[in-house]
Structure 1
Amino acid sequence: MLRITSEWSKLRTVLVHEPGIEMFYGILDPDAFLYMRRFNIEKAINQHKQMVGKLEKMGIEVLKVKEAITQKAKNDSEFRKLLEKIALNYIKYEGDGKAEENFSKIRKDIEKLDAYTLFDIILLNPTVLSHEALGTNETVTRILNEEPLANLYFTRDQSIITDQGVIIGRMSKRIRRRETEIIKLVFQALSEKPLKEITEPAFLEGGDFMPFKDFAIFGTGDRTSISGIMQAIDFTDFNEIVIAYNPEIEETEDYMLTMHLDMYLNTPKEEVIISNSTILNKTLAHIYERKESGFTLKERTNLLDFFKRKGYKVIEVGLAEQLSYATNFLTIENSRILSPKVDRNMVNIMEYLERKGYTKLLNEVKEEYNKHITDKDFFPNKKAIKDEGIEYEEIDVSELTGGFGGIHCMTMPIKRE
C-alpha cells in the first residue's frame, strides 16, 4: 500500500501527465480552462519533457498517466474491458435520426480501438454531430469536445497520499471534474485500492495537502472545502491536522494567486519551510488534535505562529517570488529540491498583473524584480538556502506555468521512503 508521511522523505516514484492535444483547448479560451494566459504549446511540451528527463537523471522513476493506463490495458483483459466501458461513457452521437444507430456501431467496434484511442476519448469527451446538408444527400459531421481535460498535467490535484494510503479527491471546478476518473484508472493499473473517494458536495484537491511527519496541513478555499477535509482526515494517522484558510492577496481578491496551499508554502527539509511571512501571518489556521473520540479543535492561530511554535525555521521569499512559484518546487529528499526558474516566471506574472489592472501589486512586484536583478538572488539562489545546506537544481517551466501552476503542481509523488 502506498503511504507518504512527509514532503522531504526521499522521492522514489513520481506520477506525471505529459500534455498533448488537450492543452490546445486551454489556449483557445484560457479563462474558461483556468489558465493564466496563452502560451507556446510546443515549448511547454518540450519543457515538460525536460522536467521528466531531469527527474530521471536524479534517479527517480517517472510514471506517465497515459502510459500506465494503456500498458495495463494491453496486458490485462479485465482492465481493458473497464477502459472500454468508461470510454463509452464519454462519447456521444447526436443528429438527424441516426444517433442511436451510430452509438450502437461504436459500441460494437469498441474492441477494435487501441488503448490510446480509448484514453483520448476519456480525455477529450467527444460528441459526434451528424446531419444532412440542405439540398444535398451528403451528411455533414461536426465533432465537439466537451470540456477536454486541459489541466490534467497538474497531476498533484486529483488525489492525495496520506500516511495511511490513497484518497481520490473531487475537483472544485466542473472543467476539471472528470480528471479523477483517469487518476482512478492509474491507481487501478498500479493495483492500488484507494481508501476513500471524496463525495459531493465536498471538494478536495491535492495541491491543498502537505504531510509534515507528525502533522499534516490541509488548505481550504476555492478548491478544497472543509467538508472535503473532514472526509479525508479519518484516513490519516497524523497526531495533528491543520486546516489553513488560503489567504487572499491584497488589492486583487484573486483566488487563483493562492488557490492551493502549495502556491504559498513548501518545505525543502525537515523543520524548514519556504514562504512569505506576511502571507503566513494572514493565513488563519485551525489546529485539530487527535483524541480517542476523533479530532477535536485545539487552537485557532495563524500559520506563521504555528510553525514558530513547532520550531520550524522560515526561509523568507518576497511576495513577487511567491507569486512566481518560488514555493512550487518539488522536494527530492531532505535538503534537496528541484525548483522552477523564478526570474522567468516573474516576467509573466508582471504581464498578468498588468492585464488584470492590479496596479499597486504590479508596482510592488516590479520593484522587487529590479532588486533581485541587481542582487542576483532570485529564489533559490539565496544565502539563506545555501547556509541551510539545501541543494537545488533549477529548470525552466515558464511556458507550463501559463496553466497556473509550477513543478509541485505538475508532479504527484507515488513512493517516498
Structure 2
Amino acid sequence: MKLNIENETSKLKAVILGTAESNGPIPSLEEAYDPKSIQHIKAGTYPKEADMVAEMEAVAAVLKKYDVTVYRPQVIQDYNQIFSRDIAFVIEDKLVKANILPDREREYEAIQHVLDQIGTENIIELPEECHVEGGDVMPYNDYIFIGTYSGADYSDYITARTNMDAVIALQELFPHKTVKSFELRKSNTDPKENALHLDCCFQPIGKDKAILHKNGFLVEREYEWLVDFFGKENVFEITKDEMYNMNSNIFSISEDVVISEKNFTRLNTWLCENGFTVEEVAYAEIAKQEGLLRCSTMPLIRD
C-alpha cells in the first residue's frame, strides 16, 4: 500500500474506521480520559455499545458508497477502539505512530494487518518524550497544523495530549513543510472549556474554508492567524455549545463531500449553501466520549 496524505480534503481512497464492537463495560470515573465522558458516566447517560456500533456502521456504509476502501481494527475483547485517529496519522507517504496514553497501546497492535501492507520503512515511531495524538495533527498542503499545550502544568492534564517535543520532532521529519502549532485550552473538569485535540475547535474543509471555535485557542493571536489565513468570509465560527457537541469534528470524503452529524443544523445548512454535499449520520452517542467523525477515522490514501 502506498500511503498518500497531503491535506484533510482531497478525494479519500482508503481509511481506517474504528470499531465499537466489544467496547467493554462503562469505565469508572478514574478510567475516563476526558471531562465529557466523566459527565456522562456521572449522569448515567454513557453510550450503549449497540447504539455506537449502529452509528459506526452507518459511517462505513457512506464511505463505501463513495468507493472508499475501509479497514477496521481487529476487535479486542472489552476494549474501546473507536477513535482510530488517536493511535497514528499519515503525512505524505509516512505513517507516524502516536505516543498515546500507555493503556491504549493495544489499539495500535489491532491495526497490524494494515501496517503489514505499508512496510516498516514508511512507519515512524517518535522518541518516548514526544507525546502526540492524531487529533492534534492536520496536514494542510505546505503546512502541518498541530494543537499543543506547553504549560508547566502539562502533566496535570489528562486532556493535554501533544507536547512541544512532538511539534519539534515533526518539523525535523518534514523540513520542507511549515509546522504551525496552536496552544489549546485544557480542562480536566469542564468539557465546554476543553479542546481535547485541535480538531475539537478547528478543521479545514473544501478548498479554502474552515470551521473554528475561538475559545478553544489559548492564545488569541493564534486564532486570529487562522482567521486571516482562511479569510473571515470562509470561516464558520461555532459557539461553545456547538464545540461541546463536536461541530468541528466532521469528516471530508472530498473537497465537496463531507460526513456530518444530522443534528448539526446550523453547520449543515451553511455547508449546503456553500456547495457541499452533506452526508448526514447519527453520531450523538459516540460524541458523548468527546470525539466524533474525524476522531474515529484515520485516512491512509487521498488522491
TM normalised by structure 1 equals 0.62
Superposed displacement of residue 414, structure 1: 0.8
Are the structure 2 counterparts of residues 386 and 19 from structure 1 closer, same or farther at C-alpha, using a change threshold of 3 Å?
closer
Q: Matched residues in 1 for 2:122 and 2:29: separation?
A: 32
Q: Matched residues in 1 for 2:208 and 2:145: separation?
A: 14
Superposed displacement of residue 236, structure 1: 2.1
How many residue pairs match? The answer is: 282
% identical aligned pairs = 20
Q: Matched residues in 2 for 1:315 and 1:216: separation?
A: 21
Unmatched segments (≥5 aa) in structure 2? 41-45, 150-159
TM normalised by structure 2 equals 0.83
Is 1:284 the counterpart of 2:219? The answer is yes
- Could you say what secondary structure the match of 2:144 adopts? strand
Are the structure 2 counterparts of residues 47 and 386 from structure 1 closer, same or farther at C-alpha, using a change threshold of 3 Å?
closer
Superposed displacement of residue 166, structure 1: 1.2
Q: How does 1:11-410 map to 2 (within 5 A)?
A: 11-21=12-22, 23-25=23-25, 27-29=26-28, 32-34=31-33, 36=37, 37=40, 38-66=46-74, 123=76, 149-150=79-80, 152-171=81-100, 173-184=101-112, 186-191=114-119, 193-221=121-149, 222-236=160-174, 238-248=176-186, 254=191, 257-276=194-213, 278-279=214-215, 282-284=217-219, 301-309=221-229, 311=231, 313-342=234-263, 377-382=265-270, 385-410=271-296
The superposition leaves residues 174-207 of structure 1 with CA deviations (integer Å, 9 ceiling, x where unpaired) of: 3323333334553124446434202212211100
- Could you say what secondary structure the match of 1:242 adopts? strand
Q: Matched residues in 1 for 2:53 and 2:105: separation?
A: 23
Q: Matched residues in 2 for 1:30 and 1:206: separation?
A: 24
Q: Matched residues in 1 for 2:120 and 2:193: separation?
A: 32
Q: Retained in 1: the 8 A contact 2:95–2:122?
A: yes
Are the structure 2 counterparts of residues 264 and 34 from structure 1 closer, same or farther at C-alpha, using a change threshold of 3 Å?
same
> Comparing both structures, which one devotes a greater share of its residues to helix?
1
Q: Retained in 1: the 8 A contact 2:200–2:249?
A: yes
Higher relative contact order (CA 8 A, sep 6+): 2
Q: Matched residues in 2 for 1:267 and 1:413: separation?
A: 15
- Equivalent residue for 2:156? none
One-letter amino acid matched to 1:163: E
Q: Matched residues in 1 for 2:176 and 2:8: separation?
A: 14
